[in-house]
Amino acid sequence: ARRQQRVGGSQRTVSARAALDSYFQLGRTQEPATGPVPRLEPSRIARDNREHSSDETIEVSDSDSSTSAEEEEAAEAAAPLVPPAQETPPAASSGEHGSHEEAEVQQKQVRTPLKQLELSVPVAPLDEEEGDTCAICFEQWTNAGDHRLSALRCGHLFGYTCIERWLKGQAGKCPQCNKKAKRSDIVILYARTLKALDTSEQERMKSSLEKEQMLRRQAELESAQSRLQLQVLTDECSKLREQVQELKALVAQHNASASQQPGGSHTSLPSSQSQRKYHLEKVFVVSPTGNCRVMAYCDSLSCLVVSQPSPQSTFVPGCGVKMMSVANLKSSQYIPIHSKQIRGLAFGRRADGLLLSAALDNTLKLTSLATNTVVQTYNAGRPVWSCCWCLDDTNYVYAGLVNGSIMIYDLRDTNSHVQELVPQKSRCPMVSLSYLPRMASASLPYGGILAGTLEGACFWEQKAGNSYRPHHLPLEPGGCIDIQTEISTRHCLATYRPCKNNPSVRCVMMELNCSPLTEASEDVVCSSNPVQTFSAGPTCTLLTKNAIFQSPEEDGSVFVCAGDEASNSALLWDAGSGSLLQKLQADLPVLDICPLEVNQTHLLATLTEKMVKIYKWQ
């Protein structure tokens, strides 16, 4: 009876079994699931399947158990969702071992399509879901309609209707960052797709590259400065050795000559030469109210001009110059030139006596002393701090501006400048300009402009075709207030303000020289070597101008004269020995010093804010 019931149960499920056979026939063509398939006992399979929902319940019985009609109907009802296990057909010759093998085969056939169905479901990447879905409704936004792409001020993206409803119902905050927001902050974005390129690694590499480049530039700069300092110290050491050898030779020669004289008397300088010095000759009161600044001397006219404010400021405002005849030591008339303070005066080698003046009213002017009128005006666009003539070609003049640039003007072109020399480093005011002409000198045969700023100095070598090449001179950084030159000996005088390392005003005399850049190249490198240092008082509040010139004795020696604010005087040194020769007293700080010669008489003029003092060498 039990066998007949089993046969009847299997006959009722023939149609369902045919559908399952066709389904599993298709499933066998798919790739098998990776990994070993565990073999389970029939009783364990039935227990595990009972834990699932009633729609996916599959029971497999052994050879002794029977399938009830209710279980077969449940299996047929669940056939559209999950294929049920095939029942074992009755066989008289099959035993219990055969029933176990059939149950294992049926279990494998059931599990394989379930795994394949689970693997075949596509899963969207998390980045894509977050990149094109609204953070409120988790649905994709659109580029048109009510759910179009919108953003708040904080930058977060939402669908328009979602964020509008959110701001109405909530306390006016962003759903993602909780920053305050309102309906007027909603901005509609007109974009089809949004993609953010990750450049964090690129930015990090760029910042590290910039840091390395900065460190490399700093290292190169320090290396160049060290090499320059080594060169300067080496040259100074060689010069000191030469001076020591010369001094030893002079001492030996002096001892030998002294021992040869009878009575052992020592030689001495003639009394007339040892007692010669500068004596006060004349005092000119230029401006009782003060504000005098600079002065210049015209050799062809034997005339000294001094800048001063207008004596009749009510009728003729501005600034001009006052002429003084050095031949008869008499002052002449006042010539109005500029509307603001004059910062520079210069005469060239022209015989007509044209005066070049620079002022803070942005102009550079040429004044004829023959007619006492301004004959040419150039507008530089910026305040002009200094000026000078070209001593190789009298048609060119130079103007130093407040930003460190040098304007080159041609007197034959009355409109504007013909060239501008832009500073290479700092843009400090050009406090001094001097031109060195070409000459047969072993140290520096080239001509050019020596420009001095508050940060340092630069020699602009004049090349062929009116082109200029800059050479930065190794001066001390900062504190330079004036640079003057001595043309014949190729020396320059740099004046430094007091600092922490040097509490007094220092005037450093340097020798200008040049050396070839390479053995095969014609280009040279111009430099300066310190020769002598002169110290003055501890006070320096004004931009004064000093002087370096050949000795009135015409013996080849060089004198240095500088103003001392602490003692209101001008100090005169011998550049060869470094000894202080004379102290020229004044009532106010000395602002400018000008050596001059007239009728084979050597004079020295010192300028304060109110007066000029003329000293005569005798």
Residue 605 DSSP SS3:
strand
3-state SS of 303-356 is: EEEEEEECCCCCCCCCEEEEEEECCCCEEEEEEEEECCCEEEEEECCCCCCEEE
Per-residue pLDDT band for 9 (boundaries 50, 70, 90) equals: very low
Q: What is the pLDDT of residues 371-395, one digit of tens each?
A: 889 999 999 999 999 999 998 888 9
Enumerate the domain spans of the chain. Answer: 132-194, 278-617
Displacement of CA 279 from its chain's centroid (Å): 53
Q: How far apart are CA 374 and CA 355, in angstroms?
A: 9
| Stretch among 173-177, 245-249, 554-558 having the lowest mean pLDDT | 245-249
Q: How far apart are CA 139 and CA 483, in angstroms?
A: 77
| Mean pLDDT of the region 163-167 | 90
Q: List all residues 6 or more positions away from 288 whose beta carbon is below 8 Å from its beta carbon.
A: 610
Q: What is the pLDDT of residues 256-306, one digit of tens each?
A: 666 555 443 333 333 334 578 899 998 989 988 888 999 999 988 889 999
Q: What is the pLDDT of residues 226-238, one digit of tens each?
A: 988 888 888 888 8
Task: Measure the CA angle with vertex 400, ends 394 and 404; round to 5°.
Answer: 145
Please say whether the dihedral angle defined by the alpha carbons of residues 130, 131, 137 and 139, taken in this order, is positive or negative: negative
For the chain, the distance separating the N- and C-terminal CA atoms, rounded to the nearest angstrom, is 159
Give the bridge partners for 297, in sequence order.
Answer: 304
Please say whether the dihedral angle defined by the alpha carbons of residues 372, 373, 375 and 377, taken in this order, is positive or negative: positive
Per-residue pLDDT band for 555 (boundaries 50, 70, 90) equals: confident
Please state, in angstroms and as integers, the Cα–Cα distance from residue 483 to each residue in 353, 399, 432, 437, 468, following that order.
25, 15, 6, 16, 20
Q: What is the pLDDT of residues 569-612, one digit of tens each?
A: 999 999 888 899 999 999 999 999 999 988 888 999 999 999 99
| Mean pLDDT of the region 15-31 | 50
Token digits of residue 238: 């060689």
Determine if the pTM surpasses 0.85.
Answer: no
**DSSP string across 514-583:** EEESSSS---EEEEEEEEEEEE--S---S----EEEE-TT-SS-EEEEEEETTTTEEEEEETTT--EEEE
Which is more confident, 271 or 320?
320
Which is more confident, 132 or 166?
166
At residue 68, the pLDDT reads: 42
- Residues comprising the chain, all counted: 618
Second-level CATH architecture of 278-617? 7 Propeller (2.130)
Q: How far apart are CA 76 and CA 69, in angstroms?
A: 11
Element (H, E) at 167: helix 160-169
3-state SS of 41-87 is: CHHHHHHHHHCCCHHHCCCCCCCCCCCCHHHHHHHHHCCCCCCCCCC
Per-residue pLDDT band for 244 (boundaries 50, 70, 90) equals: confident
| Mean pLDDT of the region 86-114 | 45
Q: List all residues 6 or more positions away from 92 whose beta carbon is below 8 Å from its beta carbon.
A: none
3-state SS of 341-409 is: CEEEEEECCCCCCEEEEEECCCEEEEEECCCCEEEEEEECCCCEEEEEECCCCCCEEEEEECCCCEEEE
* pLDDT value at 120 more than 60: no
Q: Spelled out in words, what is the top-level CATH class assigned to the domain 132-194?
A: alpha beta
At residue 172, the pLDDT reads: 83
Considering the chain, what is the average pLDDT of its residues?
78
**DSSP string across 217-233:** HHHHHHHHHHHHHHHHH
At residue 440, the pLDDT reads: 66
